[in-house]
Structure 1
Amino acid sequence: MTTKKQKSNSESHERKGVKRFESTTKGSSMIEFISKSETIFLTSLLFVIRLAAATWGIINDCDEVYNYWEPLHLFLHGEGFQTWEYSPIYAIRSYFYIYLHYVPAVIFTHMGLSKITVFTLVRVALGIFCLSGELYAYRAISKNINNTTARLFIFFTMFSSGVFQASSAFVPSSFCMAFVFYILGAYLNENWSFGIFCVAFSTLVGWPFSAILGLAIIIRMVFVKRHILAFIKISFLSGLCIGLTQLIVDSYHFGKPVIAPMNIVLYNVLSGPGPSLYGEEPISFYIKNLIVNWNVAIIASGIGFILSLWPSIGRKNQKGVTEYVSPIVWITATTGLWLLIFWKTTTQRRTIFIPNISIYCIFHCTYL
């Protein structure tokens, strides 16, 4: 006959066994996650793809030439065209954004390299910045979700035509796309300081409307984790450091105090023809665009997202804290909000899908 004490000891050993099993499982998962061979392989493959994009990818948008390469050429060689966006009357472009690319470009120029070589190397540098963000997001997904989802994610980014074209493009939408990779990784790792800084930098220096893509961090940090004071502090310091630097640089070049992000919002939302200046596209254009880029994945993952809401409600996370909505739902829900806002405007801009491509990728690999 088994005594109560023996039974208690047996249950205790079983519980310890479970804990050891969980610990071993986590350890093996982490070993797989940090596998050197896998990391080297993915990094090498991504580098080749991004190098190909920088070398052979075409420039799809005339804005990239006249609004960004021309001012950079002006800084490097003292001559270049000026578009109306850089006129002090409108001042809806930021020279600070140009300076970020001027730093590597001037180094390459002083090395005695030709203009074509400098042009290509700047594009390569942009590709490497994007690549680093992809790997950062991949590691975060592997650590916080699972390795299968992480591999699907990196597969989608590798072979996405949108990422291929945008990774080396010298335009704010591509700049924001690269930053959203970092935002996604910071969100999953709960690295709030880095995440908020990336959102602020992408919003102020890149494209103000990309702030929408940082909404998940606000929801999780403020309303779920209740880090309200930390959020206010980090947001204030990030905005102050980035905004003040941008204000100084832009005011110097425009000859008057200029807040370029505010001017962009005012022009596109509150005054003038804004984004419809050069025509508009119907909603059907964006639906076709999504289907062409993602095929049946966009439909299947959309259905999967809806179905995933029910089992995620009221689940406990790994720390035993009950969360009424899964963290991944918040980050993917920003995709719907983004599309809703820009479909409403029926703008002719075809680059509105670029900034949140990384969220599309996590959306697909999670809900397919």
Structure 2
Amino acid sequence: MAEKFKKSYKFAYLSSLYITIILTLLLGVFLYTQSEFSILFLLGFLIACYIVCFLIIQYRVEKFIYRRVRKIYDDIEMLDVDTLGDSPVTTDMRTLIKEVEKFAQKRKTEIETLKVREDYRKEFMGNISHELKTPLFTVQGYILTLLDGAMFDPVILKKYLSRADKGVERLIYIIKDLDMITKLEVGDLNLNYTNFDIIELVQSIFDLFEMKAAKKNIALIFDMNYREPILVHADKERIQQVLSNLIVNSIKYGKEDGTTEISIENLIKNKVIVRVTDNGEGIAQAHIPRLFERFYRVDKSGSRKEGGSGLGLAIVKHIIEAHHERIYVESDYRIGSEFSFTLEKVKEFPIVNVGAKTT
């Protein structure tokens, strides 16, 4: 609580003036009727009356208003308000009103923020409930069917156990991603910075998902033939996870006979930008602001059919931000999308364009 007392004399000054003028006029009229009118006496009375009235009124104002104003400050301080903590306690009602209005506006903003967070929390709980109960009910259904007698048929037993195992794998996948994003959000995930060749890393990811892309006849390509390595300074494992998520998404939502193209460009003196571009379904502009939210899906039915935890892009965003870098997205609906992110480069290497290289 602020102990400094900022006095205001305006109220006492005006009140004393009004009382003194009225009493002096009444006394002047009375003396005039009694034929004892004296200018000097009236002047002395005016000065004395004003001083006495001012002192009494100011004292009463401070005793009466200060206690109530201090109570207001104490009540506000109980709400943990920093904005008034260092302010002097004032008996000036105009100043007090402004400070209380400022306090009320801040509380209104905080309440609105809490409402947004509450809506987000409800949506998040609904999404995670849906994501978890789908594989849980699937596993439960297969197990109950087996317990009802299907276990005695070796063919059905093997098939249902295999499907139940896939449901458990999906649960484990979702839980691992939730654990990952929780650690990223609270800053509890340590990054192991090393220098590595981003071209080599992309090529290894291409090799990993080559068969997955071949099912839709999607070509995984560089925008050019990179003859020299491009060394970046980052956590190689996490950047591999970022690129894997982006490339898998481009395959999932890409068109058959399409392409997923990776390019690495010099951005500024010590930065490169990695672009993942496809000519797939694209994303409507209305969805882009929420694209990196946990469990947010542009096409809920199609997304779930394709699998995944719904956390991939949220994890990508948090990993890039944990590196103190930026991620961007540009998309044209039914034309394609481009996700790009920056990385710190170790050394500038020449990039020679000698034609496209595909895998």
For normalisation by structure 1, the TM-score amounts to: 0.22
**Larger relative contact order (Cα-Cα within 8 Å, sequence gap ≥ 6):** 1
What is the TM-score when the length of structure 2 is the normalising length? 0.22
Answer 1 or 2: which has greater helix percent: 1
